[in-house]
Amino acid sequence: MATCLRLRRCQAPRLPPASPGRGLCPVPVARPAPGRASLRGYAGAPAGLPAALLRTDGFVGGRWLPASATFPVHDPASGASLGMVADCGASEARAAVRAAYEAFCSWRGVSAKERSSLLRKWYDLMIQNKDDLAKIITAESGKPLKEAQGEILYSALFLEWFSEEARRIYGDVICMPAKEKRALVLKQPVGVAAVITPWNFPSAMITRKVGAALAAGCTVVVKPAEDTPFSALALAELANQAGIPPGVYNVVPCSRKKAKEVGEALCTDLLVSKISFTGSTATGKMLLHHAANSVKRVSMELGGHAPFIVFDSANVDQAVAGAMASKFRNSGQTCVCSNRFLVQKGIHDSFVKKFAEAMKTYLHVGNGFEERTTQGPLINEKAVEKVEKQVSDAVSKGATVVTGGKRHQLGKNFFEPTLLSNVTQDMLCSHEETFGPLAPVIKFDTEEEAVAIANAADVGLAGYFYSQDPAQIWRVAEKLEVGMVGVNEGLISTVECPFGGVKQSGLGREGSKYGIDEYLELNMKRTIRLGVDKLQPTGQIGPATCFCTKRS
């Protein structure tokens, strides 16, 4: 098991035959007639939103294309309509795949330096438009504006990172048993990648995948979440402005009603070589089943159930600060949010008291555009009902509501930040991911007990713990069955570190130097018989000689 371990420095030291889409490109498929889509591609922007970036049509082959039907996108805070977006179906998805495959035939041959330059231009445009992009995120997801601004910077950094990694795709040379022979190993792009993203990070989840894919030489078809399509379409507008060639980045928005058919079309199309998905474990299993029939490469970042452990040796104030950051970002709607707080009995009462005080002092529920707001609405009514159900279940089984515990007076999608004590393992919140502002606290006696509770889940995305015992830090960090561990740290996501989980939390890693490998395949070329007379040495023959050969 490979785990990314992040420690706070002040606490501890950092320690078969080719099938279509897999081989040579076929005769180019038919492209739509050149020209721009009609002005219907722009939404009638609500007050304060950037009309130039608020697109409503699908983006296929470098063109804005309407669909035969549309679906509404609503502001989860007010319920107001933000616009009607093209409701693409299976036929539009397959057209986007064909456009992406045609583009792949040329994009794969573009030099790494040029791909790097284009990604950097896209990054620059995101930074130039960061405030407008953040407003779109807040409008369609409800996320507080400051958090949305943070997401845009985080999102843009993936384009910057992979613009740099594009020039660092290295192969290998292997010595063979015969002294005059060498084997050449190349890393080559897998082909068209279908990218299916969630609503909670509508920009960052796209760039983390698409940045790596484009840097590797792949092309993509993005299916954004039906709740938040505007962010994906705004990125398409900026990609177009940056000079990303037609067909390299495509977007097919669709309603919840058509999500299943579009997802199936993308996962079963023989021209698609790679699936990258972030979402629930249940949906991930369905997509894996579809992808298996044509043996596609897959990356899956699925559900989590993160434990947050506080040991007796911990600094309580630091643990509370970490708990606040880890639990209540985006109102608890992130896959790495702490879901279970395991607190050792010697420090339990102090932690619960200070945690409750911090929640009452620093958490302010409201519309994401209001400056004071730290907690926006949940994404929809169903999300609120899930939190409500978990609270009701816990209280019926003996849990105590320390603070919160009910819907907020602001409206149907708002829920009070809630802290529960006297929580036991038989309660729903102890074994079911919440995705909301609920913090259940479980008291434990020993380190072994805490690790056993933490590892009892069938998922393992992230985990956190607070301790000032160096020996305990290493023991627990190595025993937790999760892909990422925060030690005395409540925020662990960064572009430089690999993101992903173990067990049923997914497959593969995103971000970091490892993320680009998800879009590359190793290709060993036929063994080369050395003939020095046919090579052009860049320097004198010696212990470290670089030979240059011209690719025909």
Check: CB of residue 331 under 8 Å from CB of residue 290: no
**In sequence order, what DSSP letters do the residues of 7-20 get, joined into one string?**
E-TTTS----PPPT
Distance (Å) of CA 444 to CA 70, 319, 369, 424: 52, 16, 40, 10
Residues 50-86 as b or e (16 or more Cβ within 10 Å = b):
eeebbbbbbbbbbbbbbbeebbebbbbbbeeebbebb
Distance (Å) of CA 15 to CA 6, 29, 336, 528: 8, 51, 22, 41
Enumerate the H helices of 33-174 as residue ranges: 90-107, 112-128, 130-141, 145-165
CA 384 to chain centre: 23
Of 301, 416, 481, 510, catalytic? 301
Query: Any bridge partners for residue 278, and if so which?
Result: 301
Check: CB of residue 545 under 8 Å from CB of residue 537: yes
Distance CA 480, CA 3 (A): 9
Q: Residues for the chain: how many in total? A: 552
Of 4, 218, 267, 335, catalytic? 335
Distance CA 325, CA 447 (A): 24
Distance CA 50, CA 66 (A): 20
Distance CA 436, CA 96 (A): 35
Residues 506-543 as b or e (16 or more Cβ within 10 Å = b):
bbbbbbbebbbbbbbbeeeeeeeeeeeeeeeeeeeeee
Distance CA 25, CA 304 (A): 39
Q: Number of C-alpha atoms within 13 angstroms, CB side, residue 195?
A: 32
Distance (Å) of CA 164 to CA 211, 481, 511: 10, 32, 12
Distance CA 62, CA 159 (A): 19
Q: Is 492 helix (H, G, I), strand (E, B) or coil?
A: coil
If one counts every other C-beta atom within 10 angstroms of the C-beta of residue 15, the result is 10
Residue 301 known to be catalytic: yes
Q: Is 442 helix (H, G, I), strand (E, B) or coil?
A: strand
Quick one: residue 381, left, alpha or beta (phi over 0 = left, psi -120 to 50 = alpha)?
alpha
The one-letter code for the residue type at 521 is E
Residue 4 known to be catalytic: no
**In sequence order, what DSSP letters do the residues of 368-391 get, joined into one string?**
TTSTT-SB---SSHHHHHHHHHHH
Catalytic positions are 301, 335
